[in-house]
Structure 1
C-alpha cells in the first residue's frame, strides 16, 4: 500500500521547519510539491508486488536518503516526473474508529475501478484494479501473471507513548498519500484540530503540474507561476482525497470528516 510513500514524504519534509511557514503560502506549496514529485518518482520506480520486485523500503525511508532529497529541494533543483496518466478510482471509502477501551481501527476499502461483474450467488462485485498497473513493461508496477497491484490506500494510526493519538485515512487514489501527509502535518506541525486539519486547503503534485484547491488564493498561485511552475486550480473548494480522522487528547476523542464527501464524525453511545 501507500504507507511507504506517505512516510517518505514526511521524512523528506522533516528536514524543513514546516510549522513556521504560512500554511497554503507560496513557500509552503512549492516545498510540498517538490517533495511530492520526488515521492512519486520513487513510487513509480520501486513500488510493486514484493514477490516480483525487490522494494528497498529501508533505503527509501532512511534519514540519509530522504535528507539527500531534501538537500536537492533546498538547492533549488526541480524534479521532473515521467509517467502515464493516473486515473484515481471513485469507489473507495474509509472509516476511523476508537472505542471506550482505546482500541483503534483505520480501515480503507476499495474496489479500485469496479468491473461491474458479480458471480451469481456470491453477491459482491469484483474490482478492476488490473487497470491500475503500469502499462509500460519492465517497471516495478508493470502487469505480470499472478502479480498484485500496489494499492494507494494509507490508513494510519499515530502513536505517542505507546498509545494511539491520531487515527486517520482517506479515499482518493494516488492523492491519498500526499493528502494524508498534509493532514498529519496540519495536526502535528500546525497544531490544528481534527476538523480543521481535514478541511484545510490542500495541494497535490503527482505530475509536473501543481494541483491546488480552489481556496488557495490567486495571488499565491500567481506567485508560484511566476517562479515557472505550472499550476492547475481545482473547481472544488475541498479537493484531493477525503480525510476522515479522530484525534485523541486527554482521553477525549474528537473527529473530523472532510466536507467534500458524505462522511461524518459521530459518537455512538455504548
Structure 2
C-alpha cells in the first residue's frame, strides 16, 4: 500500500516540539485538525505548566468544504456544592519578581475537565490519521524527555508553590528535591503510559472508568466538589462561531457563553469608527485610540454584558447597531478631547493545503497541584480562578459551562482562510488578538511584524505599554489621562502569546510563534 501523500501547510504553537508534532502529521498526509490535535497532546508535555488534558479549551474549525464550527470543551461547574466538609481550597503566592500574585488551588478548585473529551471529539469528527499516530510525538517526548529552556524554567519558578505542593507534583517537577531548571530534562513517563491506554480504549479515560473513580474518591476524602455524575455527564458542545465583517474580511471567533470573542468583536466594531487609515501604527494617536477602545470595552462589560452571555442575546443586544452607536459617540468624544496576571494558556494555529484551518486554545488555569494517579496529568484549578468567578469563590452556579476569555480566531477573505490566531494571557487575550488582527487588516503588516509589534493593555485605570512607544510625547500630551502607566523595559508574556498562521493572496503560507511565550512555527511543503 502506498504511503499517504504529504499535505502542505503551516503550524504555529508555543514550543518548537509542539509545532513539529503538528507538522509531522501534515507530512504523513494528515489534515489541519490532525495537526492541531497532535500538537495539543504534545503541548501537555512540552508546555505542561500551561495546559493539560484535565483542563479545557476551544477549537475553531474551518473545513475545506466551507463549514465553520466552534468546538467548546471548556470546563464545567459541578452539579452540587454539597460535599459535607470544608473544601480543600487555599491560596498560594506566585512571585513574578516585581509583583506577587495570589492563586487558589487544591481539590476544591477543580472544575469538570473537558480537554481530553474535546480532542477526541474533534479527532473523531474531522481527523484523518489513527489516534496512535496522533499521540506518538507526545509519547516520544514524555519518554525521552525534553530540555528545560529559559521560558519553561521561568514558568516553573513562577508556579513553584503549585508544582511542589504535593508529593506527586514534586516527583515530576522536582524529582531530585529541587525544581527543574534550565538545562535539566523534563520527563513524563506516566503520561506516555496513559496515552498508550487511551489508544487502546479510545474513550475519555478521565471522565469514565477507574481514573474517574480515583478523582472522585480523592475529592470525597479531601474536600473536592467533583462527583462521578459530573465527570460522566460532560459533553463537548458544538456551536456556530461568532461572525463579524471587518472591512472586506470576515472575523470568526469564540461565541457566548465565553466572553473573549464577543469583546474582541465589539472592540473591532469600535476601531472601525476610529479612522485608522490616517493613523501611524505605534504612534501616540494609535495609543490613544487603543486605550480608549479598551476602556469602553471594559465599561460595556461592567454594564450588564455577562447577563447577555447566558441569556443568549449578545448578538441582538450587546452587538446591536444601537448599542454600538452609544459607545461610538463616547469614543469620538473621548478622542476629540485628546486625553498582572499569569494566564496559563497556550495556543495552536494550523492551515493545510486543502483549505482546512484550525485555531485551538487550551488552558489548565495554573493547575490545582493534584496529579491524577498514574497519569502525570495535573487537574485544573478553574474554580480558583478569580477571572472565572466574578461573583466570588464558591459562588459559581451549578452545572454551567464556565465563561472564558479564550478566543481562538480565524479571519476569512472571500470565504477562505487568511489568518489563524489566538493567545494566552487571561484578560490580555482579547487585547493581544485585537491588536494583531488590526495590525494585519488596518495597517497591512505581514504576520511576523503584526505579532512582534509592541502591545499595550488597559484595565481598571492601569495602562501597560511595551517598549516601542513614544513615551515622551504620550506623557507630554496627557494621552494616558489619570491612568497609572507601567512602561515595560522588555516585551513580556504578560501581553499574551499570539501564535499565528497566515495565507497570502497567492496561496503561500507563513507562521509566527510569539517569542513572548516561547513560540515556534513550521511550514510544510512550501
Shorter-chain TM band: 0.7 to 0.9
From 514, 518, 522, the counterpart of 1:258: 514
Instruction: Identify the residue that residue 22 of structure 1 maps to in structure 2.
Output: 280
Instruction: Identify the residue that residue 313 of structure 2 maps to in structure 1.
Output: 56
The Cα shift of 1:212 comes to 0.8
Give me the whole-angstrom Cα distance separating, in 2, the residues matched to 1:118 and 1:129.
15
Give me the whole-angstrom Cα distance separating, in 2, the residues matched to 1:96 and 1:226.
35
Q: Does 1:229 align with 2:482?
A: yes
**Structure 1 stretch displaced more, 96-105 or 55-64:** 55-64
The Cα shift of 1:95 comes to 0.8
The Cα shift of 1:107 comes to 0.5
**Structure 1 stretch displaced more, 116-125 or 188-197:** 116-125
The Cα shift of 1:135 comes to 4.7
Give me the whole-angstrom Cα distance separating, in 2, the residues matched to 1:67 and 1:240.
29
Tell me the alpha carbon deviations over residues 136-178 of structure 1, each in whole angstroms, 9 at most, x when there is no partner.
46xxxx6223333311111111111111111111111110111
Please say which structure displays the higher CA radius of gyration.
2
Q: Does 1:267 align with 2:523?
A: yes
Give me the whole-angstrom Cα distance separating, in 2, the residues matched to 1:227 and 1:194.
28
**Structure 1 stretch displaced more, 96-105 or 228-237:** 228-237
Say if 1:35 and 1:70, in contact at 8 Å, map to a contact too.
no
The Cα shift of 1:87 comes to 3.6
Instruction: Identify the residue that residue 13 of structure 1 maps to in structure 2.
Output: 271
Match of 1:246, SS? strand
Say if 1:48 and 1:150, in contact at 8 Å, map to a contact too.
no
Match of 2:521, SS? coil
Match of 1:75, SS? helix
* Structure 1 residues 77 and 192: alpha-carbon distance in aligned structure 2, compared to 1, 3 A threshold: closer
Consecutive unaligned residues in structure 1, runs of 5 or more: 79-85
Q: Does 1:240 align with 2:495?
A: yes
**Structure 1 stretch displaced more, 221-230 or 165-174:** 221-230
Map 1:168-183 → 2, pairs under 5 A: 168-183=421-436
Consecutive unaligned residues in structure 2, runs of 5 or more: 1-257
The Cα shift of 1:43 comes to 3.1
Say if 1:175 and 1:241, in contact at 8 Å, map to a contact too.
yes
* Structure 1 residues 31 and 49: alpha-carbon distance in aligned structure 2, compared to 1, 3 A threshold: closer
Greater percentage in helix: 2
TM-score (norm 2): 0.46
Count of residue pairs the alignment pairs up: 257
Instruction: Identify the residue that residue 31 of structure 1 maps to in structure 2.
Output: 289
Give me the whole-angstrom Cα distance separating, in 1, the residues matched to 2:515 and 2:370.
31
Which structure is higher in RCO with an 8 Å CA cutoff and minimum separation 6?
Answer: 2
